[in-house]
Every structure is written in structure tokens, then in C-alpha cells.
Amino acid sequence: MNKVKEINLDKHDLRAFRADFAGCLILTKDNKILLQKRDKKAFSYPNYISAFGGRIETRETATQAIIRELKEELEINVPADEVRFIGAVAEEISDYSELIYEFFWHDKKGILTEKCNEGSQKIFKCYHEVLVNKKLIDDIPWIIKKCIKLGFLK
């Protein structure tokens, strides 16, 4: 059963979604996957593993949103030309009602710290470690597969 639907932004009526979000899978300087373990008191999907990100604000592009979210959540300044847009999806977990713009960022310069203002950082040595986790937000396997296909993950 497919838990995400890839959305073609040129062919889909984007007004059909009740909210727009941006999410980012991060590869650390030493090539480990960094995701977020959502707080047990999180507003949505507590204790799940998710990408970093959040809601896109009015008059904000998806790229601007992910850069803002990374600053808010991890206290880092990621240059816009370093984040890679990899696609858009809707997830079963939200009844396919939310549009998520998915990004990838490789921290080649090593600017990440252990700071995390929402939930906690969760580091995985390889994507196989991520995929066996039972509490993944639906888009994570899709992001990983897409990043492998694009050559971002091995």
C-alpha cells in the first residue's frame, strides 16, 4: 500500500490542499542521515521520526520556508543555493490533505550543532537504519528513495 502520492505541481490544483508544508532530509558532514524525533507532546504525530520543517507561511516560497524552519529548529543558516528541491507529496497520515514540498540538504561545511528546538535530533548511519523504524512519518521512505535515485544517498 502506497502511503504517499507524488504531486505534479504543474498539473495538480494546489488549492485542493488545506495546508502547505516544507520538509528537509539532512545529510551530515560525515554522511549520516539526520532526522527529527518529534516530541511526545508535539501537536501532530508525537514520537514519530520526521524530516525537519514546517508550515509554509503566507507569501513565502517553499525554499524560504525550509530555510526559516531550519533556522528555527536547528539554529543554523542554510544558504538557499544549498537546499535541493526533490519533489512534492501528500501523505496518507494526513488523509492526503496536506502538500509537502520535500528538500534535501548536505551539511558539507559542518555547520550543524546538537541544538534542536523542536523534538530531538535522530542520527542514522545509513538509510537502512531509518527504514526499519516503525514510527516514521509517511514521506520519509519516499524522500529516501528519491534521494537515492538522485545520487544524494548511497
The pLDDT score that the predictor gives to residue 41 is: 75
The answer to whether residue 115 scores a pLDDT higher than 90 is yes
What is the amino acid identity at position 6? E
Other CB atoms within a 10 A radius of the CB of residue 150 amount to: 12
Q: What burial letters (b/e) apply to 32-48, b meaning 16+ CB within 10 Å?
A: ebbbbbbeeeeeeeeeb
Domains of the chain in sequence order:
4-149 (3.90.79.10)
Q: What is the mean pLDDT of the chain?
A: 93
> pLDDT band at 93, cuts 50/70/90?
confident
> pLDDT band at 61, cuts 50/70/90?
very high
